[in-house]
Structure 1
Amino acid sequence: MYYSTYQSPLGEIALTANDHGLSALAFQTGKSPISFAGLSQDNSKFTEVIEQLSEYFSGTRKHFDIPLAPTGTAFQKKVWQALTEIPCGETKSYGWIAKSINNEKAVRAVGTANGANPIALIVPCHRVIGSNGKLTGYAGGLALKAKLLMHEGAQFKP
């Protein structure tokens, strides 16, 4: 496992990867900063990720295209895959995600899986808001979630 950091306009982002792809991305000021214990720093493993993050923050990239290697259950991975299908600038509800994975009654489980997403931003869990249009929890905090959605031009209720 390898790690690197990236200085985004919204704070330091920690990145981890294995030989299969990016395994985690977290804003270090959030509730779930990444620990680098036992990991090797290797910035060369993150060249493409950092380039795409820079393009995203400059407003020229709307979709990420890098190998991902998150660790999770089959259900979590299904939810995370559905998150990647939410276009930049749009938001969806937990109910929408549940319907998109053909499990309409799993709204709470979808919320839990969304909260366990290890690859923030690239797997855009910040694009999931309440069915009433209001912001709901985010590991980086609601202020960061609002900034990300404003950066993307998404509509939500403050």
Structure 2
Amino acid sequence: MSESDTLPYRPCAGIMLANRDGLVFVGQRIDNPGDAWQMPQGGIDPGEDPEVAAFRELGEETGLLPNHVDLIARSKEEYFYDLPPELQGNIWDGRWRGQRQWWFLMRFKGDDTDVRIDGHHPEFSQWKWAEPAELPRLIVPFKRRIYEGLVSEFGPLI
């Protein structure tokens, strides 16, 4: 057993944001020079409800407010992933082995001009709407299994 196997998972909330056309929001990570796209997601603060965290993260990363979306579904269970060995110890101050994530499907009912990725601490350099089936291919390999699961779980509702 490696030292990283004893580290806890960081509690997180993620948002699959689908528009009226059945496409899903993805953002190009600002801190990765490669082709690393992801959906809005982030840490759950101690004592914070995962749904509250999801709305907070959506606002922080996209500028969208609760009135811009409808909550459609919550994942049946948490999704887990481990960071690759080369990233463990290099992000989150080495406190976490990966993430445990509750996911929320939300329907975007605003206009594209409502999306603002240039907030106080921007996460994304650009964003786009993507076909759900395209999501696993767009993201970093260590998160693909999660995105495949989300497409399977939420896909019929998109």
Structure whose residues are more often strand by fraction: 2
TM-score (norm 1): 0.28
Pick 1 or 2: higher relative contact order, CA cutoff 8 A, min separation 6. 2
TM-score (norm 2): 0.28
